[in-house]
Structure 1
Amino acid sequence: MPSTPKQQYEHNKLNKRLRHQVGAAINDFNMIEAGDKIMVCLSGGKDSFALLDILLGLQKSAPISFELLAVNLDQKQPGFPAHVLPEYLQQLGVPFQIIEEDTYSVVKRVIEEGKTTCGLCSRLRRGVLYRVAKENGCTKIALGHHRDDILETLFLNLFYGGKLKAMPPKLLSDNGEHMVIRPLAYVKEKDLVRYAEIRQFPIIPCNLCGSQPNLQRQVIKEMLQQWDKQHPGRSETLFSALQNVVPSHLADTALFGFTTLQRGQTLQHGGDIGFDKETFIQPMPPHHDADSENDVAAGPPSTQRVFNILDNRV
């Protein structure tokens, strides 16, 4: 924990920033509603620990009431310290469940040695979590993916999948039964690393996937980190692009009516500027990077939002 006034100041500043960024994401995407029962998926990594920690803080002060249920899936990885999470969650006093499913053996049996295991492991894990959410009457499933995860997924799909697709902050499951939310969508990974150090979370490393040398995601992560070193702020610009999509200037005929496009139409985002001198204005970082609560809370107008998760309970 912080030991000097300067360290305490930096800790408080980081805590405030993360709280506001999570609050902004919840507000912008209407992630949490009154009466929700939210299943927080706890893997034992820094991201899910931080997610639960911040949501617990918001739960105490939010102007609406919602429940939290922490759920860990024990996948029976060799050497997994099964006692760590139950002891930690008991100390917090948060309702929790530890689900035991030997997906590890399935993945190791099905995937050839040297091949990445993430795809199958993720599908098996998600199926179990959906079942547990339904059994417990949970209305939302909260995952600990952060802004860097979202950008990495964008480039993974772009480079390897031929799709302009990222990881959305809010998403329905394929069968429409489950709502998945990612309240850390505006949070930088480096802030979560520091937060985990300060909060001294009992981190449990994932030996199944984290140690794989041929992960394409790791290649993308290193690329983005190098870009940020050479061009500070590039990640912020990239994330802003995900929030400023212009369908008429892409090439997806299912997304925009190119076949019915006629002369004289007025397009929402303007027409062709191929003969004009194009200028680029550095976009302002989205309001989730602000330190002021007033700045963060002042998102774009929404007819759906009837409360601000950052407001204090009356």
Structure 2
Amino acid sequence: MQAEEIATNEERKTKTRLNKLQKRLRREVGQAIEAYNMIEDGDKVMVCLSGGKDSYAMLDILLNLQRSAPISFELVAVNLDQKQPGFPEHILPEYLEALGVPHHIVERDTYSIVKEVVPEGKTTCGLCSRLRRGTLYGFADEIGANKIALGHHRDDILETFFLNMFYGGKLKAMPPKLVSDDGKNMVIRPLAFAREKDIAEYAELKTFPIIPCNLCGSQENLQRQVIKEMLQSWDRQHPGRIETMFRSLQHVVPSHLADTELFDFKRLALGFAHGIDPSLGESRLSEPQAIDILSL
């Protein structure tokens, strides 16, 4: 009897924790959708499902929101089968069919292309992501989806910010919402406000059928992994720093940076508020209004 009581208590704790995580993720996804107007009435959203924890959680929360949202929108799950050796092709179709979610499996042998083009030992992520993105963009157009939902979260956005700063010389991150270069596709990231550790725990409690990436998941010493470890170290040593850093991406002051394309430093003059002479007309960015760097 004692063992049964212990088991019951553990189940109760697990259920409570799952409910708390679901409410938190649901709230954060809802806030991101509202803040960036990600989903509107009548949208057809193509939810890109990789088989990883992030995309599973994204689909789960979007389905949850869809049932109670004051607007009507359609969700279509899409997986890109890149023909990686040993990829368990049955898992995602069976999972989606059990959920009753409309879905498509797109088969493209990008694996062979990446392995042929990228030298042994070099990072495959760049080429792989470009091929994957191009395929998904094209398929969204085929099925009439006007939004493409990707499972990147807050940690991904911060990692990308530091990657661009350390290795690319740019203050640039992953925007929660963007339009592709050709103007034909709109990408949204509903998990933009969610922490990776919450998503990981949620995925474990929900027992999502995770499919590992055999192409790039085993590569060590990737630049992104170095950045990830740096951020995790900061998070352990200074709780709350991750949240503060992310807030800073949403509150940018161009006049206190050095980009002449964002702020008209040449027109600064003494005797005027913020150095801008109103008689000369509006500056390209008449600061000190903060702008959202995630939208750049």
Please name the residue that 1:27 is paired with: 34
Residue 123 of structure 2 corresponds to residue 104 of structure 1: no
Listed one character per residue, the Cα deviations across residues 75-130 of structure 1 (whole Å, up to 9, x for unaligned) are 00000000000000000000000000000000000000111011100000000000
Equivalent pair of 1:40/1:70 in contact (CA under 8 Å):
yes
**CA drift at 1:2:** 9.0
**CA drift at 1:192:** 0.5
Please name the residue that 2:282 is paired with: none
**Structure 1 SS opposite 2:155:** helix
RMSD: 1.3
**CA drift at 1:264:** 2.5
In structure 2, do the counterparts of structure 1 residues 24 and 164 end up closer, same or farther at CA, with 3 Å as the change threshold? same
Please name the residue that 1:84 is paired with: 91
Which one of 59, 66, 70 corresponds to residue 63 of structure 1?
70
Structure 1 residue ranges without an equivalent (≥5): 271-314
Please name the residue that 1:269 is paired with: 288
**CA drift at 1:185:** 0.2
The correspondence of residues 277-288 of structure 1 with structure 2, limited to 5 A, is none
Question: Which letter maps to 1:235?
Answer: I
Please name the residue that 1:182 is paired with: 189
Q: Relative contact order (alpha carbons < 8 A, sep ≥ 6): 1 or 2 greater?
A: 1
Distance 1:155 1:34 in 2: 35
Please name the residue that 1:171 is paired with: 178
Equivalent pair of 1:2/1:11 in contact (CA under 8 Å):
no
Residue 133 of structure 2 corresponds to residue 126 of structure 1: yes
Equivalent pair of 1:116/1:214 in contact (CA under 8 Å):
no
Which one of 245, 254, 261 corresponds to residue 254 of structure 1?
261
Distance 1:67 1:23 in 2: 16
Which one of 41, 48, 52 corresponds to residue 45 of structure 1?
52
Please name the residue that 1:286 is paired with: none
More helix by share: 2
Equivalent pair of 2:80/2:105 in contact (CA under 8 Å):
yes
**Structure 2 SS opposite 1:4:** helix
Equivalent pair of 2:36/2:177 in contact (CA under 8 Å):
yes
The correspondence of residues 208-219 of structure 1 with structure 2, limited to 5 A, is 208-219=215-226
Structure 2 residue ranges without an equivalent (≥5): 1-7, 275-286, 290-296
Equivalent pair of 2:45/2:145 in contact (CA under 8 Å):
yes
In structure 2, do the counterparts of structure 1 residues 24 and 63 end up closer, same or farther at CA, with 3 Å as the change threshold? same
Aligned sequence identity (%): 71
Distance 2:9 2:19 in 1: 10
